Structure 1
Amino acid sequence: MADRNTLRTSAGAPWPNNQDSLTAGERGPLLLQDYQLIEKLAHQNRERIPERTVHAKGWGAHGKLVITEDISKYTKAKCLQKGVETPMLARFSTVAGEQGAADHERDVRGFALKFYTEDGNWDMVGNNTPVFFVRDPYKFPDFIHTQKRHPKTNMRSPTAMFDFWSLSPEALHQVTILMSDRGLPQSPMHMNGYGSHTYSLWTDAGERYWVKFHYKTQQGHDFFTNDEAEQIIGKTREGYQERLFNAIEDGQYPRWKFQIQVMAETDAETCDFNPFDLTKVWPHDQFPMIDVGYFELNRNPDNYFAEIENAAFSPSNIVPGISFSPDRMLQARVFSYADAHRYRLGTHYETIPVNRPVMEVHNYHKDGTMNVFGGVRTGNENAYYEPNSYGDQGAALEDRSAQEPPLKISGDAARYDHTRYDDYAQVRALVTKVMNEEQRQRLYKNMGGAMAGIPSEIAERWFGHLKQVDPAYEAGVRAAWNDANASAEYQANSHPVTGNTPQQTEGNAAGDRPQAAE
């Protein structure tokens, strides 16, 4: 007979009976001294932690980053040197939905990567789009409110979405992508990933370069129409999880090509657009793509909660050779992401195994929730503060070699008006030059359907922005909006709170089957 494991309490004692509660007689009441029952119920009460405020529904896997090209002239980062392989974790997600939301909803997808490098963890926390809805962090909490539930109706409100977007024309670029074919990929394997923000690379010689990170799917860009997605959601809410998990279990390991765009540090001051504006892309003809390597996902987690739900990604996690930029949104996310993890997982969330670096960590953080590391964290039991006199006795000391060069961009501290930028030119190029006619028609239908039922004054404000992009864009969406309102027989006046009828859901417009496109 094979050896069997013994069921034990959390304190390690053998658990003699997991079938019957301890009672005062066969029919008597339960006894409080049944600590096994109390422990079991107490643990069940605590099985859930706060879900992420944003990106709550996600899917992930382990893999490796492989660097195949030499980019040493741009960075000293050890993990980005030719021939280096680095273990990694990826988590993909929707932005707006709760943990129980359906996978196949029209939404931006989160694209978060954690690389376990020899110099510590490097996190790339981006999306499947190269831009975002806003460029100033003051607007971010309000934007997220529009993606969540109305406080009175407890329903999603397209009125809130388009009201905010129509008053924030910098969102045009992202909304256009969201309502295009790219807004509903078939699975996590069939979408690109982007760092989205501008980051920087730096060398031992003190040279800094601005950089954009790109991860291009090698599985092809396959999409669903809204009608197709609705059919899938009627059968399963876990379509993405199923496809990603099963592909890896079957040995069909998905890959993404890793590329960068690079700009010399001082060129940012003479660039004809703001290279730190998160609502803009860098033109490829000015800043061509540079091959770096690839990453591959090849192992599913053994425990989803421990390895994916507990995973904490933050752009504050950088390593020597990689750093930040003046991007307003990035500067705010450096604080807000790590702070979200401290709230959700505990002060020492990075001691959770999936977040733990590969090397032993020494620092002077003390106490608080999730202090589970034990031992002498600082390297010397008498060194619980710094500076101290115990450096030659093992106490942790700073490493000046990790100090990055100073920024060469400077200016006065002020609240500079971000609305003076051109928010239409890049959207115009996307719609009129990049998309073909079939893609434009699907864009019109998707956007018009998503607007169904919103108040006419908000719709007209939005149409005004579309017209500044291209009159055909405005005309196409307006026609689709009229068709959607007529077919659904919306009566917005009977719902003054949201301006939408109860049956309205995001992205319910019909569309033709899209073709795969690069």
Structure 2
Amino acid sequence: MTANQNHLTTSWGAPVGDNQNSMTAGRRGPTLIQDVHLLEKLAHFNRERVPERVVHAKGAGAHGYFEVTNDVSKYTKANFLSEVGKRTPMFIRFSTVAGELGSADTVRDPRGFAVKFYTEEGNYDLVGNNTPVFFIRDAIKFPDFIHTQKRHPQTHLKNPNAVWDFWSLSPESLHQVTILMSDRGIPATYRHMHGFGSHTFKWVNAEGEAVWVKYHFKTDQGIKNLDVDLAAKLAGENPDYHTEDLFNAIEAGDFPSWTLYVQIMPLEDADTYRFDPFDVTKVWSQKDYPLIEVGRMTLNRNPENYFAEVEQATFSPGNFVPGIEASPDKMLQGRLFAYADAHRYRVGVNHNQLPINRPQCPVHNNQRDGFMRADGNGGSGMYYEPNSFGGPTEAPQHRTTPFEVSGEANAVAYDHDDHYTQAGDLYRLMSEDERARLVRNIVNAMKPVEKDEIKLRQIGHFYKADPEYGQRIAEGLGLSVPQGV
């Protein structure tokens, strides 16, 4: 039988049976490495641009420190969070997501918020955004999503048809789309926005007791956003506006800071909470899980060399320290592989030997050779484990804590498909002026879309979140809300 020539295939020509859901152990995961389609998709995606970052190419960074202000040792054994007053050096990189290295800072886009803590137990990277949610919840969809944000392969122009077609066919994006198109879509500066770990992570204390955790960095400067017309003006007159603002503020001694809070969820609540706590398109209600203060991050030193420190900085959400572990979040599970793999390609297999990435604690491993090895390559020391010659050995006390998985290995979606409640709640929280600006931004962004089919499908999502929301978008586009939504 001849295969359908329009079937999606792998690079070796085999048909792809599921391009929406990664393969997991049971419905909740974790993701299986046997999902070779997912691995190929992510690995190829990481190599699509040379040499700048595929995403988050344009950014700015700064050095600083993190100081613990509240005892959280009952939740985590992480050494850098172990006592009030403890300070840990850190580096942060802020960025836009979709634009190239020379793009404007003031575009409507999420902002990357990547923090590297140089702890006594190794580097801990918290790689998040300035939003608590994301557009998709399964890493298998990430390359497709980012392609829609990039340039059309023929015209080399941004393509609103692709953007809204993908979003309208991926209703889980609605919450993040609402945030992006709101006032928060264009921060006034990097200093005047919050940061979030976005994903759910696991904290483990010294007794081996675990909880689920979400991170919230609240700006101490207060939230400020840019008017859309002023943002467009600045994009033309000073495309490096946010980069310049951060550098000048620190240079003048006006050190920006953020207070870190966490939400803590008992492990057993994950089975009963009204939203799947591992779905990165959803938030946890702060009424259910109140914010707990952890500490304060202060930025007090600019890089000496942009390329050496900002451009060559590498972050991976898989860089954990004892007391902090992954959750079954499907988007996080994919990022655990993809980010480190991207750095091995973009900067080199020995990227962690560069000064900006080098841990400030002893490193003992059996990795040898590779391009641009910058240290003694392990000298004459032991290069395998286990061994009988006194080489470094594993530390069983730091084994990852187990969590139960069940079910069959299969490519399945999340159990919960309520993509509308939280987006509608966010819309209803806005003032009338905020709603009007949100509607205007969405209407202006959707006007260039050529197919009414795409517009109507997206209007249906807005309407399901809140009838007024959908009706106002429809009126702005000169369309009617589709019947039956």
What range is the shorter-chain TM-score in? Answer: 0.7 to 0.9
* Residue 301 (str. 1) matches residue 297 (str. 2): no
Is the 1:351–1:370 Cα contact (8 Å) retained in structure 2? no
> SS of 1:472's equivalent?
helix
2:415 and 2:210 mapped to 1: Cα distance? Answer: 28
Counterpart AA for 2:398: A
| Partner Cα separation in structure 1 for residue 218 and residue 297 of structure 2 | 10
Q: Distance in 1 between matches of 2:88 and 2:138?
A: 33
Matched, 1:158 2:153: no
Find the residue that maps to 1:353 and give its secondary structure: coil
2:170 aligned residue (168, 171, 179): 168
Contact kept, 8 Å, 2:174 with 2:423, in 1: the verdict is: yes
Q: In the alignment, what sits opposite 1:235? A: 237
**1:83 maps to what in 2?**
85
* Change in 2 beyond 3 A, CA 1:248/1:386: same
Correspondence 1:133-148 to 2 at 5 A: 133-148=135-150
Distance in 2 between residues matched to 1:420 and 1:126, nearest whole Å: 23
Question: SS where residue 234 of structure 1 aligns?
Answer: helix
Q: Indicate conservation of the 8 Å contact 1:265/1:408, yes or no.
A: no
Question: Which residue pairs with 2:206 in the alignment?
Answer: 204
| Match runs of 1:79-478 below 5 Å | 79-81=80-82, 82-374=84-376, 376=378, 381=380, 383-391=382-390, 395-418=391-414, 420-432=416-428, 434-454=429-449, 455-478=451-474
* 8 Å Cα contact 1:266-1:408 kept in structure 2: no
- Answer whether contact 1:134 1:171 (CA < 8 A) is retained: yes
Q: How far apart are residue 399 of structure 1 and its match?
A: 1.3
Q: Which residue of 2 aligns with 1:58?
A: 59
- Render the CA deviation track for 1:143-188: whole Å, top value 9, x for unaligned: 0000000001100011100000000000000000000011000110
Indicate how the Cα distance of structure 1 residues 224 and 209 shifts in structure 2: closer, same or farther if over 3 A, else same: same
Give identity over the alignment, percent: 53
Indicate conservation of the 8 Å contact 2:275/2:416, yes or no: no
SS in 2 for 1:63: strand
Distance (whole Å) between structure 1 residues aligned to residue 413 and residue 241 of structure 2: 43
Deviation at 1:99, TM superposition (A): 0.2
User: Hey, what's the Cα distance between the residues in 1 that align with 2:208 and 2:377?
Assistant: 37
Q: Secondary structure at the match of 1:116?
A: strand
* CA deviation after TM superposition for structure 1 residue 375, in Å: 5.1
Retained in 1: the 8 A contact 2:196–2:216? yes
TM-aligned CA deviation for residue 436 of structure 1: 1.2
2: CA distance, partners of 1:75 / 1:420: 29
Which shifted more, 267-276 or 333-342?
A: 267-276
Give the 3 Å change call, closer, same or farther, for CA 419–172 of structure 1 in structure 2.
farther
How far apart, in 2, do the equivalents of 1:482 and 1:343 lie? 47
* 1:6-21 pair list within 5 angstroms: none
Post-superposition, which runs of at least 4 consecutive aligned residues in structure 1 deviate over 6 A?
none
Query: What per-residue deviation string (whole Å, max 9, x for no partner) do you get for residues 263-301 of structure 1?
Result: 111221122210000100001111110011110100000
C-alpha deviations, 1:34-78, integer Å up to 9, x for none? xxxxxxxxxxxxxx9710000000011000001010111100001
Q: CA deviation at 1:232?
A: 1.2
Q: Which amino acid aligns with 1:202?
A: V
2:80 maps to a residue whose letter is: C
Rounded Cα–Cα distance in structure 1 between residues aligned with 2:153 and 2:181: 25
1:384 counterpart letter in structure 2: Y
Residue 419 of structure 1: how far off its partner (Å)? 7.4
TM-score with structure 1 setting the length: 0.81
What is the letter of the counterpart of residue 176 of structure 1?
T
Q: Name the TM-score, length of structure 2 as normaliser.
A: 0.86
CA distance in 2: counterparts of 1:267 and 1:471, whole angstroms: 32
For residue 355 of structure 1, give the secondary structure of its aligned residue in structure 2. Answer: coil
Kept in 1: contact 2:74–2:205 (CA 8 A): yes
Write out per-residue CA displacement over residues 294-335 of structure 1, whole angstroms, 9 at most, x where no aligned residue. 101000000010000000000110100011000001011000
| Pair 1:160–1:387, CA change in 2 (3 A) | same
Query: Counterparts of 1:84 and 1:421 in 2: how far apart (Å)?
Result: 42
Range 365-374 or range 180-189, more displaced: 365-374
| Matches for 1:36-75 after TM superposition, within 5 Å | 50-75=51-76
Unaligned runs of 5+ in 2: 1-48, 480-485
SS of the counterpart of 1:354?
A: coil
Distance in 1 between residues matched to 2:405 and 2:219, nearest whole Å: 34
- The Cα of 1:412 is off from its aligned counterpart by 3.3
Distance 1:61 1:482 in 2: 46
Point out the structure with max Rg over C-alpha. Answer: 1
